[in-house]
Structure 1
Amino acid sequence: MASIFHLSSIFILLLIFLSSSSAQLSTDYYSKTCPNLFSTIKPVVEEAISKEKRMGASLLRLLFHDCFVQGCDASLLLDDNGGFRGEKKAKPNKNSARGFEVIDKIKSAVERACPGVVSCADILVITARDSVSTLGGPNWRVKLGRRDSRTASFSGANNNIPPPTSSLTNLISKFAAQGLSTRDMVALSGAHTIGAARCTSFRKRIYNENNIDSSFAAARKSSCPRSSGDNNLSPLDLQTPTSFDNNYYKNLINLRGLLHSDQQLFSNGSTSSQVQFYARNYDSFESDFVAAITNMANIKPLVGSQGEIRKNCRKIN
């Protein structure tokens, strides 16, 4: 009995620790230590997007690919160095994840304003928010106080991030493993209302699948041949690829989802109704997206004395 009681006590303490980690995050975390943080970051984000509209989607994607591996700890930003193997060359990120130079520029500006105070992990969260709002999407108050990891996980990046070939079952499973609900998953998928995908990510869909609008598939084939052009880009949302709106969901209903994983959301009854709801109700999509990305940004943050505040986001101190 004593051993059972001991194990139960450990389990309870673990639950308290996990919940308290995200509870330590706060919207006014840097109000005294770096009061000009937001006004330092946003102009850099806006400048980057003004030079290349696609960059907004890329910066948003960095947060997703970071949080799904070890939690939101900026492990994605670490470069390979000697015996250190980072996440950038894992399959979901290699020749795909981008915007690292923008994060470098933001970090340099923040370090000038308040050296040694703001984590790269928090910069990713703020940058994702600013990217969405700059492209016409919602603005929301972000909770901050994360610290940066001193480790990365190449295998975690390969295994945790759902590929564009994912089935609906796999998508639900991958998100659930991070503590995110199916509702969160469908709302977060709406981030594909901005940005573009490489030919290699959707070639099989446009040539081999039946649940696709024929004219849409034909148009995509012109820039994505069967055996070449792997890096040729096509917008994820053909109508408004640089505006954060709900056209993504309307496209799914019309069988114009570019990625197999996207179209899966409307090819199975368990999520089709949510897709239809968001297609009709932008405000509901917007509020659910904010709730979902807030949940995602709370995945296993390092707080207190855990980790460190990196001086350079690409390497540990």
Structure 2
Amino acid sequence: MKKYKEVFNLTHAIYRAANSSSDIKNLISALLKIIQQSFSLDSCSIVLFYPNKNPFIKGNLKKKKFSLKKGGKTILTKKEREIFKTGRAYFSKKTIVAPLIFINVLGLIILKKTKSKKYFEDTERKLLILLIEEISLVVRNFQIYEEHRKTIIGIVKALTQFLNKYSPSSIIHTQLIQKILKELAKIIPLTQQQLTSLEYATLLHDTGKIDIPQTLLKKNAPLSKEETEIIKRHPKKGVEILKNLQALRPVIPIILYHHEKYDGSGYPSGLKKKQIPLEARILSVIDAFDAMFFGRPYKKSLTLEECIKELKKNKGKQFDPQIVDSFIKVLNIKRIKKYLKEKSQKV
């Protein structure tokens, strides 16, 4: 019973690591920590194969020090190259080199007890064989996820470039917002999925403006009531354009509701408070700040202090008070303030 419980706990830890890893480096590091702790190792490594110019990624954990390198076959030992070819594991008293296989050899896992007096026990070998199947599946799924993510990024970039040409004022300043989102996620609990969706939404939130006449988008004078109603259609239009792209489904609610207001006076549905998705409430603040700080054809830019004053003024009305407070904390971080100062000089 104890053995089965151990296998279950390790399997759960492996899948939890996969779900919380944002890139392959984080995944390798997390898996190595689990393996090192489980087998009381002096060092362990994972090598993964990717069919590109530098096809091998090798992560190593020695004691608590993690390192990662990329390259060709030269970063592999003779034994590792041999196992990549044969797909057969190597076992000795103090070293195990086993292939990660999913149809083909995806990579290797290397376990060493070089300095300790202990050898690998038979139970440890059997446990490793069980875990290798799970790790192979996790690695392959992560590789598919990465391929999928590259496709999404390609779609997002293409749509963003088109939108930028059609309506330049719709584009949020990406580099700045990514920095802010990274810091904001430390204050407001966001999953990696939520953070990624927010990043995509900052690029695509005004996609629906493609369906609005450019003369109206570039108008410097105040809009008439009829023109305002046309502009208000853009969240729903954006959803219509993106709804059939399965990869962007998590972004849809953010785009649809980012013009809702905390007091219920926004559009398109008049949602209020927590009825508005968290990511949409965050994007609402981001979008407003970007428009204030960098300006728009119809609006002059404001100083950082003026932007903060406006955000505070609209707490509980246009914006979620907690998100505003968290956002202002991020704006007051020294490196963010420095970056904003540099950007403001270029506006």
**TM-score normalised by L of structure 2:** 0.27
Structure showing greater relative contact order (alpha-carbon pairs closer than 8 Å, 6 or more residues apart): 1
Structure number with the higher helix fraction is 2
